[in-house]
Structure 1
Amino acid sequence: MSERAIVIGGGIVGLSIALGLARAGLGVVILDGADADNRASYGNAGLVWVQSKGADHVPYARWSRQSARLWPAFAAELEQTTGIDVEYDQRGGFSFCLDEAEVEARRAMVDKMAARLGPENDVEFVDAGFVRQRVPHVGPKVLGASWCPSDGHVNPLLLMGALRKRAAALGIDILYGHKATRIGMNGSHLTVYGEGFGMRADRVVVAAGLATQELAATAGMTVPLKPVRGQIVVTERLRKVIDYPTPTTRQARAGSVIFGNSHEDDMAVPGTTLSVIASHAQRAIAEFPFLASRRILRSWGAIRVMPRDGRPVYASSGTCPGAYAIACHSGITLTAIHAGIVGPSIAAGELPPAVSTFSDERFHVVSPA
């Protein structure tokens, strides 16, 4: 009889892990919550972004870049197996600087990445002329930018649909409205308990967004998280003129411009505020002045998942063998590596060696007095 895996959480992270488990031969069940739950999977800008990841932690920089390298083949496989083009586009990305302070800070980041990554580094600072050759509609306030050819973007809604369709084809059952409350051992069996149910499994992966912290703790894992609200604005559909994404602005294939990059720490209430939306608009117009005369169609504020130290968490349980917990704020960027490497590794009974520095053991270190 084949082994069974339970994934708690049916968002981008949970689905990508589930695909990797299923492709490794395990029978997989996803326990998902209610439609009204806060979901970072629907509230992100769709960036596959590496240029600023891991400036203070080289393994994170390498991990992000490895996933970016896997993304072209992953997107192609999804389209081939589901018929859904997730609109993945990897032609590079800019992070614009609008004043001298931003130039100085961006140059410092680029220099740090170069020093830490050495020959692996693919980020450079470029002047305004370089930018305008590739982005002719950029505004005069742009003084320069960091540039990384590994960066790209994807349509997160189409990605979610493709992951679900692929999961169904692989025989993965998604049980909606099944809220897990704890993980434990029933004799020698790993068991997930919830309201009115208890389900046995050989592997359990907690990828339940902010709920991961509480659930992981029931299996002896430490995953300290905080909610971060991000507000995003979407314009009417326009002629396609922005070919390269930035952390604050990108244009979807259908023509809508998506902008906004707020990080409101410890804010657990979704929604928008006029001050933040106005700040987003001012930044977007400074980058692309033509947006000043375009219509806004909608805006939203979503609650995203952020580990307390900013780095991904990949934990394995010592008290409940076979249980794991995963939390990150780069779920889109890491989708390809979660499906291609992390899922199969967990199916084999271990986390990949590359994530050893992301274990929850780092939260148990006691600082010297």
Structure 2
Amino acid sequence: MDTRSYDVIVAGAGVVGSAVAYGLVRHGLRVLVLDGADGDLRAAKANFGLVWVQGKGFGQPAYQQLTRRSAALWPAFARDLTADSGIELDYRAEGGIHFCVGQAQWEQRAAKLARMTEELPGEESCSEMLDRGQLQRLFPKVRFGPEVSGASYGRMDGDVNPLRLLAALQRSLQVRGARLRTSSPASRIEPLAGGGFSVHVGKQRFEAARVVVAAGLGSSALGPMVGLDVPLRPQRGQLLVTERLAPMLPLPASGLRQTAEGTVMIGVTQEDVGFDLTTTTAAAAHMSRQAARIWPALGQAQLVRHWSCLRVMTPDGYPVYAESAACPGAWIALCHSGITLAAFHAGPLAAAFAQARIPDELQIFHHGRFNVPQTA
């Protein structure tokens, strides 16, 4: 057994677990973070890298507010991470675009965003609709396809390099004093008779007063061990990346993003195929066609990479933040928008875990909402 004394063990060192751990250690807690193997199903590997607000939380105002809150925290969060880690995140916060193809799509988008604004009375709209002329002036170097009718623009949106973000989080939490164990997936969590928890990694065992389950899809196995049984499903996302091109897209878009290196990311699919990580020519063809309809010149660009990974999805698509009723001191944090919510996870959520209290405004994200009796 590791004889060191920990306040918190975080099971999972992806973007969610690392952000929570980074926040906890900044509150002065002694933190052990258990990371899995390099081949684990990490969502960051196929993440588009968007810090995104517009269109998120339709029909769920609490989620709208959560994404707005995290996006507002991102600039300071990014500065702190870079200062601690020395890693540039390629973070931009100049807004983002959702392209519309055809007038009907433009009108549907406008109606949806208007309804979302109505769902938050008293809150200023964070998006606006652009017609084709306004869009062209925003992107003077891009010749759009004839079907492009315009776009929505979200002023709170931005983007970041997701792999640099993960690297910066993991380095920063260690700089701040946390211990990160790589290739050490938690295999078992047990409540201790005198309080606290024992976390097993193979034949090794670690102890802490509290534990946070943030192991993505692996949380399905770990959560029930401490009374945190959350229904999860994987969702496959496939991505394409082109060769480096001259800078043309100064803002990220929902399905097109030019990186700091000049490559263009194209995606992302949303496929319910279980744990299948296969990449498919059908998906590549679909994404390529959609991208070419918006930006025809991309049809001449060489594709250099095609890959996929699995997202963590709850039944309603919204996050889960909760403490176990059966095992007080055991917490869980799950979501599919780990990039957007990273600033919130490292800030207010970590503060709540440090104080051992979930704020009232987060109770709506308790997994008890899934315990609804099924009617015949």
TM-score range relative to shorter protein: over 0.9
TM-score by length of 1: 0.96
The alpha-carbon distance between structure 1 residues 150 and 339, as it changes in their structure 2 partners (threshold 3 A), is same
Match for 1:125 among 129, 132, 152? Answer: 129
The equivalent residue for 1:259 is 266
Moved more, 139-148 or 85-94: 139-148
Cα distance in 2 for residues equivalent to 1:287 and 1:337: 33
Cα distance in 2 for residues equivalent to 1:65 and 1:223: 25
Aligned ranges for residues 246-325 of structure 1 at < 5 Å?
246-325=253-332
Match for 1:186 among 182, 189, 192? Answer: 192
**Deviations along 1:286-310, whole A, 9 cap, x unmatched?**
1111211111111101111111111
The equivalent residue for 1:340 is 347
What is the percentage of aligned positions where both structures have the same residue?
41
Aligned ranges for residues 68-217 of structure 1 at < 5 Å?
68-118=71-121, 119-136=123-140, 137=142, 138-191=144-197, 192-217=199-224
The equivalent residue for 2:34 is 31
Amino acid at match of 1:246: A
Amino acid at match of 1:133: R
Q: Aligned with 1:314: secondary structure?
A: strand
**Alpha-carbon shift at residue 91 of structure 1 (Å):** 0.8
Task: Tell me the C-alpha RMSD between the 2 structures.
Answer: 1.6
Match for 2:370 among 355, 363, 366? Answer: 363
**Deviations along 1:239-289, whole A, 9 cap, x unmatched?**
111011111000001100001121002431213100101111111111111
Indicate conservation of the 8 Å contact 1:341/1:352, yes or no: no
Cα distance in 2 for residues equivalent to 1:101 and 1:272: 31
Count of aligned residue pairs for this structure pair: 369
The equivalent residue for 1:45 is 48
Cα distance in 2 for residues equivalent to 1:3 and 1:344: 17
Cα distance in 2 for residues equivalent to 1:168 and 1:4: 15
Cα distance in 2 for residues equivalent to 1:242 and 1:139: 15
The equivalent residue for 1:12 is 15
**Deviations along 1:9-31, whole A, 9 cap, x unmatched?**
11100000001110011111111
**Alpha-carbon shift at residue 42 of structure 1 (Å):** 1.7
Gaps of 5+ in 2: none
Moved more, 327-336 or 144-153: 144-153
TM-score by length of 2: 0.94
Gaps of 5+ in 1: none
Indicate conservation of the 8 Å contact 2:5/2:207, yes or no: no
Q: Aligned with 1:103: secondary structure?
A: helix
Indicate conservation of the 8 Å contact 1:63/1:354, yes or no: no
Cα distance in 2 for residues equivalent to 1:9 and 1:115: 37
Q: Aligned with 1:280: secondary structure?
A: helix
Cα distance in 2 for residues equivalent to 1:94 and 1:179: 38
Indicate conservation of the 8 Å contact 1:203/1:347, yes or no: no
Amino acid at match of 2:160: V
Cα distance in 2 for residues equivalent to 1:161 and 1:174: 12
